[in-house]
Amino acid sequence: MARPRWQEDEGVQAWSALLRAHASALRLIEEDLQRAGGMPLSWYDVLLELNAAVDGPLRMQDLGKRAVLSRTRVSRVVDDLEGAGLAVRTADPVDGRCVLASITAAGRGALRRAAPGYLAAVRRHFAGRLTTDQVRAVRDAMEVVLADPR
């Protein structure tokens, strides 16, 4: 029995491999981060973005664009982070229709404590499985995709 034509397509094969590798690495990194830092990966992602915001608090819609979560999920994560004292929401003084999110001092501390476990997990379950040239090739290829999101 012949394979369907789409299964012969190298682009589809690459996409499928990317999705499967992403799901596998994400699960393993999440498990390691939970063990090492007691923090879900979604919390780490949002705290990382809030911490990186050099101009201060982020509008929730901008946070939703930066984080690798759905916008609905980002809102729920910020709710959880607020409940844990790691982030805070405030009204935008310029545009009262917008809500701003910012990291608290406790959030910065939690992020700092979780970072070594996160970085070790990324190395263990992703970068450490590839050669330096492969890491660069993946990075370069993904930057090409990100540069033209259409």
The pLDDT tens digits of the residues spanning 87-98 come to 999 998 888 788
Domain ranges of the chain: 38-147
Q: Which residue has the tokens 């090739």?
A: 137
- The phi, psi pair for 57, rounded to 5°, reads -55, 150
d(CA 30, CA 7): 30
Tens of pLDDT, residue by residue over 19-49, are 999 999 999 999 999 988 789 999 999 999 9
Query: What does pLDDT average to over the chain?
Result: 91
Stated pTM of the model: 0.85
3-state secondary structure the chain: CCCCHHHHCHHHHHHHHHHHHHHHHHHHHHHHHHHHHCCCHHHHHHHHHHHHCCCCCEEHHHHHHHCCCCHHHHHHHHHHHHHCCCEEEEECCCCCCCEEEEECHHHHHHHHHHHHHHHHHHHHHCHHHCCHHHHHHHHHHHHHHHHCCC
Q: Which CATH class is domain 38-147?
A: mainly alpha
d(CA 69, CA 63): 10
CA-based nearest residue to 94, from 121, 56, 126: 56
Residue 114 in this model has a pLDDT that exceeds 70:
yes
